[in-house]
Amino acid sequence: MAASEEASRPFAGLSDVSISEDIPVEGDISVPVGPSRRDDEFSTLDEPVKDTIMRDLRAVGNKFIHVLYPKRSSALLRDWDLWGPLLLCVTLALLLQGGAADHEDQGGPQFAEVFVIVWFGSIIITLNSKLLGGTISFFQSLCVLGYCIMPLTVAMVVCRIVLLVSSGVIIFAVRLVVVTASFGWSTFASTAFLADSQPPNRKALVVYPVFLFYFVIAWMILTYSP
Amino acid sequence: MSSGSGSRNTEPWGSFDDNLIQGGGSAVIDMENMDDTSGSSFEDMGEMHQRMKEEEEVAAEAAATEDDVADDGEFLGMKGLKGQLGRQVADEVWQAGKRQASKAFNLYANIDILRPYFDVEPVQVRNRLIESLIPVRMINFPQKIAGELYGPLMLVFTLVAILLHGMKTSGTVIREGTLMGTAIGTCFGYWLGVSAFIYFLAYLVNAQITMLQMLSLLGYGLFGPCIVLLVTYNIHFHFLFYGLWLLLGGLSTLRMVAALLSRTVGQTPRLLLCGTMALLHMLFLLYLHFNYHTIVEGQNQKHRGRSLWFSCCRSGAVRSARRALSRWFLCLCSNNFALSVTMETSTKFRPMTELPDFHEHRDVVIEALPPIGSQQPGELTGNTCSQVGHMTPVSSC
């Protein structure tokens, strides 16, 4: 029952638990807390808030640039985040709201409606693409679909500005062109990311719901009347 | 006492064989050898675990921990979360939580259950869409119904989008709810609810159809109505709508009816099942069109985009609902549509009078319908039916 034997076989010493006084108890009961030093390098709890915010903003901005120039890169997929989609969705919903809040008729959709359409639609498309055998994960897909709403948000801003000027037929034609272009851009951008994760013969099956989703949003933007 | 004579230490902890072989005394471990201060087994386990971990990490941390030893000469783990025991406990709690969460997730949110129903090719979907408008005449042998959910689901969502468009252009105001909620509720409610109802009827009359096939059949049967609504929400001609309603709505209904007929035996079961299916499907298309119809004539109608249906639901009175329904049927009867829809259930589409039971039940049949000739056309304009069917600028509602 030497102490060394105890150390080599972990449970050897438990059969006789009493320790008589003449056997010296050796060993180090102290706890090595070495990893705390390594943790400080990885933990972001202690850095100034400005650093955290700047890092996140930079990540979001980086992804916006990837949406603007949709080439097949995996940056959007690798580190997904949902800040961008949330920001875009809230902006879009605020812009689309309150057009005719004082009339009985709803000249524009309410905030909740836009929110529900965007998020519920994204979830459905993600589930659909997963069920069709896609390799993309749930949140990655939400991230891509959310970021690709950006062209439509830009189109909404343009429409809003243009509607401040007047609301004739020519203005409608301009709005139609802008919204159609941004709709095409959104669909193209998101399929550039999503379609890669599908087997090649099923791309059309994944693209259709994305098309429908952006079509509904684009149509909401087009029929918005202040 | 247990380990003194026990030379058969097969296990490191000294197996119970020692006590059992001894036999004479009790098999209970002698408590006087237990050290009171040994603590609970939890701490022993913790100590063992920690010791094993230490053996792994001792090489890496030997240099780093030299100067920490002096500071950490206190009792193991009593330093909060930074202590090794605390961290290990937190780690175990995290693992246990993660295991439970993933178990629950796999149980309830397992989408792999639905995966086989989405295993389609785009060509197949396209073919099935086109076939949904082509009735098959073979009704003596069960027709093949594809059991997939991708096409029906996409068609229901397309219908939701079209319905939303129709609601917006007709200026419908939904007081208690949102447009989106109503559209989704209507379409999904129809698809799931009517499928379940027809499946239930099929179960009663012992027809050979599964729930998946019923969902698939009805889902693809919404293709015709989708096209009809897409066209007629934008181009407002009544005759166009009635023509498309009969043509496309009728074709898709016929396809579904033929599929159901081929899987049912017996005249009465066939009548029941297919009659219900035809009625519900045709009436649904009618409802969708007229409920969200643009009021083109009569500016004062603009704010009354709310339909007859909603006003009845909101008032809550069953009698008014029944009155509204009967008025609605009256309108249809006055156009001679209801008769053809409800009576056209015979498989070979013979005229009504040739049905074997017609003359016996003639009185019942005619009694059930409101008498046609007794009401003058002038009476109809005074009620809300005109808003639905005739679009004359009457403000009474």
Contact A30 B3 (CB under 8 A): no
CA distance A217 to A222: 9
Between B33, B65, B153, which is nearest A17 by CB?
B33
The ipTM value here is 0.74
Instruction: List, in sequence order, every beta strand (DSSP E) within chain B.
Output: 78-81
- Count of CA atoms in the C-beta half-sphere (13 A) of B366: 10
CA distance A203 to A133: 11
Q: Judge contact between B224 and B252, C-beta under 8 A.
A: yes
pLDDT for the residue numbered B333: 47
With cut-offs at 50, 70 and 90, classify the pLDDT of residue B384: very low
What is the SS3 assignment for B39?
A: coil
Q: Is the pLDDT of residue B178 over 80?
A: no
Between B14, B58, B122, which is nearest A202 by CB?
B122
**A169-194 and A138-147 helices cross at what angle (nearest 10)?**
150
Contact A132 B118 (CB under 8 A): yes
Digit-coded pLDDT (tens) for A76-85: 677 888 888 9
The owner of tokens 């329904």 is B325
CA distance B156 to B223: 9
Taking contacts as CB-CB distances below 8 angstroms, the residues of chain A near B157 are 124, 209, 212
pLDDT in tens, chain A (226 residues): 455 554 566 776 666 666 666 777 777 677 665 555 555 556 777 788 888 889 888 888 888 888 887 666 666 677 888 888 999 999 998 888 765 544 555 545 678 788 888 998 999 998 888 888 778 888 888 888 999 999 999 999 999 888 888 778 888 899 999 999 999 999 988 888 777 777 778 888 889 999 999 999 998 888 887 7
Distances (CA, A) of B364 to A99, A116, B346: 55, 50, 18
Taking contacts as CB-CB distances below 8 angstroms, the residues of chain B near A106 are 173, 179
pTM: 0.62
pLDDT for the residue numbered B261: 93
Q: What are phi and psi of B80, to 5 degrees?
A: 75, -150
- Provide the phi-psi class of B171: left if phi over 0, else alpha when psi is between -120 and 50, else beta: left
Both structure tokens of A70: 């949709």
Higher local confidence (pLDDT), B211 or B364: B211
* Chain A CB within 8 Å of residue B13 CB: yes
Cβ atoms within 10 Å of B319's Cβ, excluding its own: 9
pLDDT for the residue numbered A196: 74
Three-state SS letters, chain A: CCHHHHHHCCCHHHHCCCCCCCCCCCCCCCCCCCHHHHHHHHCCCCCCHHHHHHHHHHHHHHHHHHHHCCCCCCHHHHCCCCHHHHHHHHHHHHHCCCCCCCCCCCCCCCHHHHHHHHHHHHHHHHHHHHHCCCCCCHHHHHHHHHHCCHHHHHHHHHHHHHHHHCCCHHHHHHHHHHHHHHHHHHHHHHHHHHHHHCCHHHHHHHHHHHHHHHHHHHHHHHCCCC
Both structure tokens of A137: 């994960």
- Provide the phi-psi class of B177: left if phi over 0, else alpha when psi is between -120 and 50, else beta: left
Interface of A with B in 16-35 (CB under 8 A): 16-19, 28-35
